């Protein structure tokens, strides 16, 4: 798989985000905005679906042509240490969103302004967005990015992340089909 890494300076949030160009991007490329998840992407945690979604996205984008925008907003934007604190509360029975609130953070602090800036630099006025998250569609649309299609990812369910995925569906209306997958 040939991958071209594209770096950016001067983004509105000052962070070091990365775009990976995979395959031959079409006029309307397939794009995945993927928020950094050290525990899932690198360490293989089964608590979330981040690692499997990342691997799926890389394959699907490479096959069709497009971009993976890797955003440095760990733990839905609350940072690694806060995310680990929230994990403790999840172990005590709170869902992922309530745990964030319990440690004094918002349920989801991600802002996709830098992602929209990146997409404009890449010349992508219209995209097919690989996501189950309706907030990504709403934010990008409000930032002037046209979404032709929201393309769902697979449901990467296991016994360790079922509650997490259920919360994503019930709390933030993610389009993950987990019915009948109780483990």
User: Which residues are the active-site residues?
Assistant: 108, 110
Residues in the chain: 183
Tally: H helices and E strands in the chain:
6, 6
Q: Under 8 Å CB-to-CB from 99, ≥6 apart: which residues? A: 86, 87, 89, 90
Q: Under 8 Å CB-to-CB from 135, ≥6 apart: which residues? A: 108, 110, 172
């Amino acid at each position: 798989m040939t991958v071209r890494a594209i770096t950016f300076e001067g983004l509105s949030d000052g962070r070091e985000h990365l775009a990976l160009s995979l395959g031959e991007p079409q006029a309307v490329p397939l794009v995945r905005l993927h928020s950094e998840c050290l525990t899932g992407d690198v360490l293989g945690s089964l608590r979330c679906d981040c690692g499997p979604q990342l691997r799926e996205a890389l394959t699907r984008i490479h096959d069709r042509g497009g971009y993976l925008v890797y955003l440095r907003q760990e733990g839905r934007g609350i940072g690694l240490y806060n995310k680990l604190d929230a994990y403790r509360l999840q172990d005590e029975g709170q869902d992922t969103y309530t745990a964030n609130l319990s440690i004094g953070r918002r349920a989801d602090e991600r802002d996709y302004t830098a992602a929209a800036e990146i997409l404009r630099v890449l010349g992508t006025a219209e995209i097919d967005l690989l996501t189950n998250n309706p907030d990504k569609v709403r934010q990008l649309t409000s930032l002037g990015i046209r979404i032709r299609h929201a393309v769902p990812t697979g449901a990467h369910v296991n016994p360790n992340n079922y509650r997490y995925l259920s919360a994503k569906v019930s709390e933030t209306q993610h389009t993950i089909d987990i019915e009948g997958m109780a483990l």
